[in-house]
């Protein structure tokens, strides 16, 4: 998942997409590639958990909600700030990709940090990426940065699977009034400009926010509109990947 701007909901979308893909009988892993601001431990209720190593000296990913999970937070001693220079960050990313006992997997979802920097470029060079999903809000400020991310991934020949518009609208819980708090038609503008599909639009939802904060992903709860949307998103990704496999074989 990628957006050039922080705070658009990439991590929460990544986690719930991973869970939705798992529901389709896939073996799924999720990697938190945000070295400086890892959020996977909170989202998956794995705070204060640490990874161990296997008999073959690989890092054993933590497992929760049937997902294989890995984050730099599982390897460091505390929740304090990580103050590393670029080379150390690149070494950490390579370790998380190549020295973790991921196999067997059908999907590895990588939750990328904001920006178009070393982490994004290193991952694109270290492993063959099947595709990237652009997560944005309708706000113009987000669109400006997402455009940069789209251009970067096209430069390194990574397929862009489509756009997810988060915070697309808000419905008042008392009266049902709809309010476009972050603007509207942002994803449609990107779709028209870059000829990309809009995969899904996700409304602002207080239950979703609470579920993220409590480490209880919305996909693990009772069926809701958001669950249906993540299931739809997963089915689209699953279909795209199977279609690509058929084309290349």
Q: What tens digit of pLDDT does each residue of 177-218 get?
A: 999 999 999 999 999 999 999 999 999 999 999 999 999 999
The mean pLDDT of 146-169, rounded to a whole number, is: 95
Identify the pLDDT of residue 248.
62
> For 28-57, how does the pLDDT look when each residue is reduced to its tens digit (9 = 90+)?
999 999 998 899 999 999 998 999 999 999
- Using pLDDT thresholds of 50, 70 and 90, give the confidence band for residue 249: low
Identify the pLDDT of residue 29.
98
Residue 51 domain-assigned? yes
Residue 2 domain-assigned? no
Q: Which two tokens stand for residue 168?
A: 């697309």
Residue 3 domain-assigned? no
Widest distance between CA atoms in the chain: 58
Cα separation, 55 vs 177, whole angstroms: 57
- Using pLDDT thresholds of 50, 70 and 90, give the confidence band for residue 78: low
Residue 1 domain-assigned? no
Structural domains counted in the chain: 1
- Using pLDDT thresholds of 50, 70 and 90, give the confidence band for residue 222: low
Residue 5 domain-assigned? no
Residue 150 domain-assigned? yes
The mean pLDDT of 133-154, rounded to a whole number, is: 94
**DSSP designation for 183:** -
Identify the pLDDT of residue 4.
45
Q: What pTM did the predictor assign?
A: 0.92
Q: What's 197's domain CATH number?
A: 3.40.50.300
Alpha helices by DSSP H, the chain: 10-23, 40-43, 86-98, 118-126, 140-155, 186-194, 206-214, 225-248
Residue 44 domain-assigned? yes
Cα separation, 167 vs 155, whole angstroms: 28
Cα separation, 177 vs 172, whole angstroms: 5
Cα separation, 98 vs 175, whole angstroms: 51
Which value, to the nearest 10 degrees, does the dihedral of the CA atoms of residues 110, 54, 57, 17 take?
0
Domain that holds residue 135: 10-247
The mean pLDDT of 233-245, rounded to a whole number, is: 91
Mean pLDDT in the chain?
Answer: 91
Task: Look up tokens 């299931």; give the residue.
Answer: 231
């Amino acid at each position: 998942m990628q957006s050039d701007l922080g705070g658009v909901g990439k991590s929460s979308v990544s986690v719930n997409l991973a869970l939705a893909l798992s529901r389709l009988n896939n073996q799924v892993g999720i990697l938190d590639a945000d070295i400086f601001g890892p959020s996977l431990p909170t989202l998956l209720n794995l705070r204060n958990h640490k990874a161990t190593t296997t008999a073959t000296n690989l890092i054993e990913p933590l497992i929760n909600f049937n997902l294989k999970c890995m984050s730099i937070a599982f390897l460091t001693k505390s929740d304090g700030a990580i103050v590393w220079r670029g080379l150390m960050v690149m070494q950490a990313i390579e370790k998380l990709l190549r020295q973790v006992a991921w196999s067997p997997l059908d999907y590895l979802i990588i939750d990328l940090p904001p920006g178009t920097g070393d982490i994004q470029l290193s991952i694109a060079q270290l492993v063959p990426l099947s595709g990237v999903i652009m997560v944005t809000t309708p706000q113009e400020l987000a669109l400006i940065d997402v455009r940069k991310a789209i251009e970067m991934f096209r430069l390194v020949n990574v397929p862009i699977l489509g756009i997810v518009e988060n915070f697309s609208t808000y419905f008042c819980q008392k009266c049902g009034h709809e309010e476009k708090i972050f603007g509207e038609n942002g994803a449609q503008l990107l779709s028209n400009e870059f000829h990309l599909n809009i995969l899904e639009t996700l409304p602002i939802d207080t239950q979703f926010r609470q579920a993220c904060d409590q480490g209880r992903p919305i996909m693990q709860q009772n069926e809701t509109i958001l669950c249906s949307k993540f299931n739809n998103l997963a089915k689209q990704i699953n279909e795209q990947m199977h279609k690509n496999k058929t084309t290349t074989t």
